[in-house]
Structure 1
Amino acid sequence: MSETLDEDLYQRTLQLLEPGEIELVGAIVHTDLGSDEDLEMHELTVTVNDVIADHAEKGETYIYAGNDTEDFASNQFQGLTLDDDSFVWECQQLLREGTFDIVFYYEAGPDQDDLAEDLAAIDHVDRVTAVP
């Protein structure tokens, strides 16, 4: 992936993290998955959900696809707690130069370096860019 695309994606992710109700940080998960690997993308998203929820110490979570609302775009998902539907993370899956980059953002708190290291160890992840 080119430096220009990486920098553009990084800057766009920073804009998503601008101050709101809660302080957000993020991670860009660069994958080796192409547009024809839907099952693998689903499995990767489930695995990343587990890793982020574990680091955030939020308990059990589920993935909400937003199919029942117009507030969500396609390839946009949220991780919510089973107990009370609290926000854990949100992501957007973006196809860039033939492979997916997944932009995750979540409440500040987890150690970004430890989380990025655990995310980078997942199958199909080429690298992870932590976004403060």
Structure 2
Amino acid sequence: MTDAIDRDLYERTKALLEPGDIDLLGMVVHTDLAGQEDLEMHELTVALNEVIADHAEKGETYIYAGNDDTDFASNQFQGLTLDDEAFVWECQQLLRQGTFDLVFYYEAGVDQEALGADVAALDGVRDVTLVP
């Protein structure tokens, strides 16, 4: 986080993790994907869904886009379990300085360092900032 935009994104992400109904952790996934690489960003989001769900040990999940929900913004997604549609993660896809940053929130209890390492190993990921 060497510049003000990364610091601002980190601080805004951290503020969203304030205590609520469930304890959350988060991460900012900085990608090499340019603004015109929407399909690749979607594929990376699908891969991230699998990695986060695996670490959360919640079972099989699907990605909910919220197109039928006025409480959702564009580029906001949730990972929900197939069995009972329980929350696994939520993300925002942001275009920052010409590349996509994906901000994920998920229920606390995962091994944050191991999750971060697995995410960092995915194609298209430039860096991962973990948010406690």
**Shorter-chain TM-score category?**
over 0.9
Aligned Cα root-mean-square deviation (Å): 0.9
Residue in 2 that maps onto 1:3? 3
**Alignment: residue pair count:** 132
- The 2-side partners of 1:35 and 1:75 are apart by 13
Q: TM-score, normalised to structure 1's length? A: 0.98
Secondary structure of 2:103's partner? strand
Residue in 2 that maps onto 1:127? 127
- The 1-side partners of 2:33 and 2:130 are apart by 20
Structure 1 segments unaligned to the other structure (5+ residues) = none
- 2:16 equivalent to 1:16: yes
Structure 2 segments unaligned to the other structure (5+ residues) = none
Residue in 1 that maps onto 2:111? 111
Secondary structure of 2:33's partner? coil
Code of the residue aligned with 1:104 in structure 2: it is F
Residue 35 of structure 1 and its aligned partner are, at CA, apart by 1.4
Q: TM-score, normalised to structure 2's length? A: 0.98
Secondary structure of 2:62's partner? strand
- The 2-side partners of 1:28 and 1:43 are apart by 17
- The 2-side partners of 1:22 and 1:84 are apart by 17
- The 1-side partners of 2:30 and 2:67 are apart by 25
Between the two proteins, what is the percent identity of the paired residues?
73
**Greater Cα offset, 28-37 or 1-10:** 1-10
Code of the residue aligned with 1:102 in structure 2: it is L
Residue in 1 that maps onto 2:96? 96
Residue in 2 that maps onto 1:67? 67
Secondary structure of 2:70's partner? coil
- 2:44 equivalent to 1:47: no
Secondary structure of 1:73's partner? coil
Secondary structure of 1:32's partner? strand
Code of the residue aligned with 2:32 in structure 1: it is D
Structure 1 residue ranges (4+ consecutive) displaced by more than 2 angstroms after TM superposition: none
Code of the residue aligned with 1:7 in structure 2: it is R
Secondary structure of 1:28's partner? strand
Code of the residue aligned with 1:46 in structure 2: it is V
Residue in 2 that maps onto 1:25? 25
- The 1-side partners of 2:79 and 2:35 are apart by 22
Which string of whole-angstrom CA distances, capped at 9 and with x for unpartnered residues, describes residues 79-131 of structure 1?
A: 00000000000000011000010000000011111000000000000010000
